[in-house]
Structure 1
Amino acid sequence: MKASTPSLILFFVTSVLAIIFKLLQSDMLMLYTKSVVVPSLFIYYLVSNNYKTKLLNALIFLLFFVREVFNTLRIIESPMGSFLCVLMVYILLLFFAWRDSAFLKYKYNDIFSISLLFIGMGAICFSVLNLKLENLELDFSLYVVFGLILSLLTVFSILNYIKAGSLVFFNGMLMCVSFVISDVFFVLYKFYFYNYLLTLVSLVTQFSSYFFMVNYFLEKERRH
C-alpha cells in the first residue's frame, strides 16, 4: 500500500458519509464529516508530492477548509466568509489557468471556439441568475461577480485542454466543469427549490472537483 492511500480512502469514505448525512437531513453530522474531506485530500497531495507544496496550492486548500469551518460555525458572518473563501480560490485558479495559457499559441481560427465557450458560459450564468431566487444570503451583485470569475476560469481551462490536450489540462478542465455543476445545483436547491437529486449532484460534483484539483496540482508538479 502506498503511503498516500489511507488519506485517499479517508477522502472517499468521508465524502460518501457526508452525502448520506445530507440526504438524511442530518446537517450537523454532514458538516462535521465534510470538514474532514479537504484535510484528507491535502494529506494525500502532500504525501504524493514527496511532502512538498507550493504556497498558493497550500493557500487554496486552506481557503477550502476555512469555508467548511464557516459553514460549520453557522454564525452571522458565515455566508460572506464562505463566499469570499471560494471566490479567492477561483481567482487563484484563474491566475493559474491564465498563466498556463500564456505558453500556448492561439490562432485566428480559435476565435470561434473562444466565442462559443464565452456564449455558453454566459448563457448558463444568465439562466441561473435570472431565476426567481429566494432568500439570497448576500447581495445579488456578488453572485454576478462570482459567476463571471467562474466563467472565465472555466473558459480558460477548457481552451487550455483543447490547445494542449495534456493530462494536466484535462484534470483542470474536469475540475472547473465540476465547479460549475456543483455551484449551479447548489444555487438551485438552496435558493430556488429543495430537491434530493439536486443536492446529490451538487455534493458529488463538489467532492469530484476537489479530487480533480489535486490531480491537476500533482500533474503540474510532475511536469516541472
Structure 2
Amino acid sequence: MKASTPSLILFFVTSALVVLFKLLNYDGLVLCGKSIIIPSLFIYYFVSNNYKITFFKGLIFLLLFVRDIFTTLNISESAMGSFICVLTVYILLLYLGQKDFKYLQFSFRDGFPIFILILGIGSICYSVLNLELENLELDFSLYVTFGIILSILSILSIINYIKSGSYAFFNAMLMCICFIITDIFFVLYKFYFYNYAFTLLSIITQFLSYFFMVNYLLEKDKG
C-alpha cells in the first residue's frame, strides 16, 4: 500500500458518509464530515508529491479549508467569506490554466469548435444568472463576476484538454464540469427553489471536483 492510500481512502469513506448523513438529515454530522474532506485530500497530495508543495498550491488547499470553516460557523460573514475563498481558488486555477494555454497553437479550423464551446458555457452561465433568484446573500454583481470567472476557467481547461489530450488537462476538464454542476445546483436549491436531490447532487459533484483538482495538480507537478 502506498503511503498516500490511507488518506485517499479516508476521503472516499468520508464523502460517502457525508452523503449518507445528508440523506438521514444529520446536518451536524454533515458539517463535521465535510471538515475532513480537504485535510484528507491535502495529505494525499502532499504525500503523493514526495512531501513537497508550493505556496501557490498550498494556498488553494488553505482557501478551500477556510471556506468549509465559514460554512460550519454559519455566521453573518459566512456568505462573503465563503464566496471570496472559492472565487480566489478559481482565479488561482485560472492562472495555472492560462500558463499552459498561452503555449498552444491554433489553426483556422479550431475557431468554430471554440466558438461553440464559448457559446454553450456562456449560455449556461447566462441562463442560471437570469433566473428569478430570491433572498440573495450577496450583491448580484458578485455572482455575475463569479459566473464569468468560472466560465473562463472552464473554457480554458476544456480547450487545453482538446488541444493537448493530456491526463492533467483531462482532470482539469472534469474538475471544471463538476464545479459548474455544483454551482448550478447550489444556486437552484439555495436561491430558486429547494429540492433535496439538488442538494445531494451539489454535494457529490463538489467532492468529485476536489478529487479531480488534486489529480490535476499532481499531474502538473509531474510535468
TM over 0.5: yes
Partner of residue 76, structure 1: 76
1:193 to partner: Cα distance: 1.4
Note the 1:9-88 alignment, pairs <5 A. 9-88=9-88
2:106 aligned counterpart, secondary structure = coil
Query: Larger deviation: 121-130 or 25-34?
Result: 25-34
Alpha-carbon RMSD: 0.9
The whole-number CA distance in structure 1 between the counterparts of 2:3 and 2:175 is: 24
Shift of 1:181: 0.5
Give the structure 2 partner of residue 156 of structure 1.
Answer: 156
If the length of structure 2 is used for normalisation, what is the TM-score? 0.98
Separation in structure 2 between the aligned mates of residue 56 and residue 121 of structure 1, nearest angstrom:
27
Q: Give the aligned residue type for 1:82.
A: S
Separation (CA, whole Å) in 2 of partners of 1:40 and 1:156: 28
Which residue matches 1:192? 192
Letter paired with 1:37: I
In 2, Cα distance between equivalents of 1:48 and 1:177? 24
Equivalent in the alignment of 1:129: 129
Matched residue count = 223
Query: Structure 2, unaligned stretches of length 5 or more?
Result: none
How far is 1:24 from its partner? 2.4
Structure 1 unaligned spans of 5+: none
Residue aligning to 1:107? 107
Secondary structure, counterpart of 2:143 in structure 1: helix
Residue deviations 1:157-180 (CA, integer Å, cap 9, x gap): 000000000101101100111100
Report the alpha carbon displacement of residue 187 of structure 1 after superposing the two structures with TM: 0.7
The residue type paired with residue 28 of structure 2 is M
**Does residue 213 of structure 1 match 2:216?**
no
Amino acid at match of 1:81: G
Q: Give the drift of 1:130.
A: 1.1
Task: Indicate yes or no: 2:178 matched with 1:174.
Answer: no
Alignment deviations for residues 66-105 of structure 1 (CA, whole Å, 9 cap, x no partner)? 0000001111000000000000000011111111111211
